[in-house]
Chain A
Amino acid sequence: MSGSTLPTNNKAIKWFDERLPLLSLLRDSLVIYPAPRNLNYWWSFGSLAGFMLVAQLVTGIMLAMHYTPHVTLAFTSVEHIMRDVNYGWLLRYAHANGASMFFIVVYIHIFRGLYYGSYKAPREVLWWLGVIILLLMMATAFMGYVLPWGQMSYWGATVITNLFSAIPKLGEAIVTLLWGGPSVANPTLNRFYSLHYLLPFVIVGVVILHLWALHTSKSNNPLGIDIKGEQDMIPFHPYYTVKDLFGICVFLMFYAYWVFFNPNGLGEPDNYIEANILVTPQHIVPEWYFLPFYAILRAIPSKLFGVLAMISAIIVLFFLPWLDRSKVRSARFRPVYRQAFWIFAVDCVILGVVGANPPEGHWVLIGRLATLYYFTHFLVIVPVISIFEKTLPLPDSIAKAVLGGPAKH
């Protein structure tokens, strides 16, 4: 972090900024941050993810003022929020659907990175931090889903925490630690509530590192070529603040559709039944954003290896910068990789559908093939393509590609 760079004549602001260059820092990262001039709308999903994080924090903190984390009261306190708290229904529906919106935005953000090669040098650490944020989001979302203490909360918590028992030797001890006792019960609910409140702030911390890494290596762009000079860049404000603001408005309409007109469309009816340890729901399914990973877990007929495969599905992302050896970043200039990307995207959707269905009949085979393809994509297809692919010629510079000639100003 550098010193004061704020151009101001105000003596008080100058005095403060020389002692703590906070305003300089904010100006450097949100106003004058030089961004490539050719970012398309897929780049709006980064700031959208930041917006959703704040939305979840604000609604969540207000929900916490009315929620009671006790197994005998949790379910009723959520209904109290829905029925008696002023605009409580809005807070809860915005928060519950907000989790889905956050994942939609982040998944698009990740796939944008995959398409345009944003994980490649010099952005490997930026990519890693993103994967860490995804892992933290998953943990937070899972624990948040347990809090209403409905049937799916309870049984989802039981199934997922039980996965840790697959770990040799330490498994049982870890599960007991997660539960805070011999089964999912009040101590489990209490620690999940505590951690569900804590982890979002950890996410905020990693997001700050993510932005720091971004502003160090600068944004990638749809051409995937480096910024070569002033003519390739425009300041973040107003050019991208206004663009992202438009993106947020459009996305908010999508979000509002779910909150106001279909608030339970992404949820399971079973979670409106209070948790009952004596009655197991017919199908225990996680929220939609976990379904591809759930499919990978169930594709392997061994608990331990299923869990390992599910974890590996994320861990493999850490190695992607070295699995893909191609120096060309953007899929625009990689005709073969581009096809592999879309097949991979379809494969992820198939895994999601498999995860939503009971592991019976043809779903078992489809799930296994799709899981095999998921790992083949990262471990075989991407490395092989990156070695043999004949890429298209890259433009000389962003400015030249965008303006069709040397920059005129």
Chain B
Amino acid sequence: MTKMRALFAGAAVALSLGAVPLAALQPARAAEGIAPPALEWPQAGPFGVFDRPALQRGYQVYKEVCAACHSMRLLSYRNLQDIGFSEDQVKAIAAQDQVAVIDDNGDAATRPGLPSDPFHSPFPNENAARASNGGALPPDLSLMAKARKDGTNYLAALLTGFSEPPADVKMADGKYYNEYFPGHQIGMPPPLTADQVTYEDGTAATVPQMAHDVATFLSWAAEPKLEERKRLGLKVMAFLAVLSVLTYLCYRRVRRRVQGH
């Protein structure tokens, strides 16, 4: 009996030594790039809401810079009303696009875009996209902020993470060194330069500012119901907290009838 206890104590010690790497719950992914610095995002936390001006500036950066190569096929122009554009503004934005249609005679034609149309894609198909980008495919950005670990921070870091490669790194042809990209060699040339866009609200268009704004925009694009979700979540939590107290009081009261509880 005592021998057995000792045996188990030994086994417990051995196992808890094995449990030390429990701290390493997150899989090691050093090979995939450096963890991006954690920035402050107003949409984070239980009360988080998006910064509307940043969203609109971010859309401007996407439209004037990123959209040259990257599609956002899951978004429609009508969605832009959610980030503070008026109905008329959305109509005007959509009308700048020309949408391919088949007319009444069965001939290929175009018409101005409508709010219900999806965002214009820069390339008609994957082959065309690859052919224009040295064989690399610029990924669709609709879900990018959720498709990477710590996506919003990652996007802001990636867009500001370009530098000259260290002396010991041999770059492949047509690749650019980026500290935060897995493997550090990215097909995308540094997309942002200072004052590349002119913000209507007068914000200085520095590279970190544009990266921050477009990361905010992509964060919204990937999770457009974030604000609705958190608002409802707070109500649900408050409701459940009250209901838990009430059911607990009920339980105590009912249980008073039987002894031992």
- A residues sitting closer than 8 Å to B (CB atoms) are 37-38, 76, 79, 82-83, 89-90, 93, 234, 238-239, 242-243, 245-246, 249-250, 252-253, 256-257, 259-261, 263-264, 269-270, 272-273, 282-283, 285, 335-336, 339-340, 342-343, 346-347, 349-350, 353, 356-358, 362-363, 366, 369-370, 373, 385, 388-390, 399, 402-403, 408-409
Chain A residues positioned under 8 Å from B32 (CB to CB):
282
Task: A240 to B187: give the CA distance in the assembly, Å.
Answer: 62
Given contacts A256-B236, A260-B237, A343-B11, contact A285 B22 (CB under 8 A): no
Report yes or no: A272 in contact with B143, Cβ–Cβ below 8 A.
yes
Task: A38 to B259: give the CA distance in the assembly, Å.
Answer: 10
Report yes or no: B74 in contact with A370, Cβ–Cβ below 8 A.
no
Q: Which of B29, B147, B225 contacts A89 (CB 8 A)?
A: B225
Q: Which of B31, B182, B230 contacts A261 (CB 8 A)?
A: B230
Chain B residues positioned under 8 Å from A79 (CB to CB):
74, 142-143
Report yes or no: A249 in contact with B143, Cβ–Cβ below 8 A.
no
Task: A356 to B23: give the CA distance in the assembly, Å.
Answer: 12
Q: Which of A38, A340, A370 contacts B18 (CB 8 A)?
A: A370
Report yes or no: B244 in contact with A366, Cβ–Cβ below 8 A.
no
Report yes or no: B247 in contact with A369, Cβ–Cβ below 8 A.
no
Q: Tell me the interface secondary structure of chain A in the complex.
A: helix
Report yes or no: B12 in contact with A272, Cβ–Cβ below 8 A.
no
Task: A366 to B254: give the CA distance in the assembly, Å.
Answer: 50
Closest to B149 in A: A269
Task: A82 to B229: give the CA distance in the assembly, Å.
Answer: 11
Task: A356 to B244: give the CA distance in the assembly, Å.
Answer: 35
B25 contacts partner chain A, Cβ-Cβ < 8 Å: yes
Q: Which of A347, A362, A390 contacts B21 (CB 8 A)?
A: A362
Chain B residues positioned under 8 Å from A335 (CB to CB):
5
Report yes or no: B232 in contact with A90, Cβ–Cβ below 8 A.
yes
Report yes or no: A249 in contact with B229, Cβ–Cβ below 8 A.
no
Q: Which of B9, B22, B31 contacts A349 (CB 8 A)?
A: B22
10 contacts between A and B (CB under 8 A): A253-B237, A260-B233, A273-B143, A282-B31, A283-B29, A339-B5, A349-B22, A358-B28, A370-B18, A408-B259
Given contacts A242-B254, A245-B247, A269-B151, contact A403 B5 (CB under 8 A): no
B256 to chain A, nearest CB (A): 11
B260 contacts partner chain A, Cβ-Cβ < 8 Å: yes
B2-24 interface with A by 8 A CB criterion: 4-5, 8-9, 11-12, 15-16, 18-19, 21-22, 24
Q: Which of B8, B143, B147, B251 contacts A243 (CB 8 A)?
A: B251
Report yes or no: B146 in contact with A269, Cβ–Cβ below 8 A.
yes
Chain B residues positioned under 8 Å from A89 (CB to CB):
225, 228-229
B240 contacts partner chain A, Cβ-Cβ < 8 Å: yes
Report yes or no: B25 in contact with A356, Cβ–Cβ below 8 A.
yes
B243 to chain A, nearest CB (A): 5
Report yes or no: B251 in contact with A246, Cβ–Cβ below 8 A.
yes
Task: A33 to B192: give the CA distance in the assembly, Å.
Answer: 70
Q: Which of A93, A253, A270 contacts B241 (CB 8 A)?
A: A253
Q: Which of B22, B241, B250 contacts A246 (CB 8 A)?
A: B250
Q: Which of B22, B222, B236 contacts A272 (CB 8 A)?
A: B222
Q: Which of B19, B222, B255, B261 contacts A350 (CB 8 A)?
A: B19
Report yes or no: A283 in contact with B27, Cβ–Cβ below 8 A.
yes
Chain A residues positioned under 8 Å from B46 (CB to CB):
261
Q: Which of B8, B222, B225 contacts A340 (CB 8 A)?
A: B8
B63 contacts partner chain A, Cβ-Cβ < 8 Å: no
Task: A272 to B229: give the CA distance in the assembly, Å.
Answer: 19
Task: A335 to B230: give the CA distance in the assembly, Å.
Answer: 47
B180-238 interface with A by 8 A CB criterion: 182, 222, 224-225, 228-230, 232-234, 236-237
Report yes or no: A249 in contact with B21, Cβ–Cβ below 8 A.
no
Given contacts A246-B251, A269-B146, contact A256 B258 (CB under 8 A): no
Report yes or no: B254 in contact with A239, Cβ–Cβ below 8 A.
yes
Report yes or no: A234 in contact with B229, Cβ–Cβ below 8 A.
no
- Residues 31-69 of chain B, each 1 if its beta carbon lies under 8 Å from chain A, else 0: 110000000000000100000000000000000000000
Q: Which of B21, B232, B244, B260 contacts A253 (CB 8 A)?
A: B244
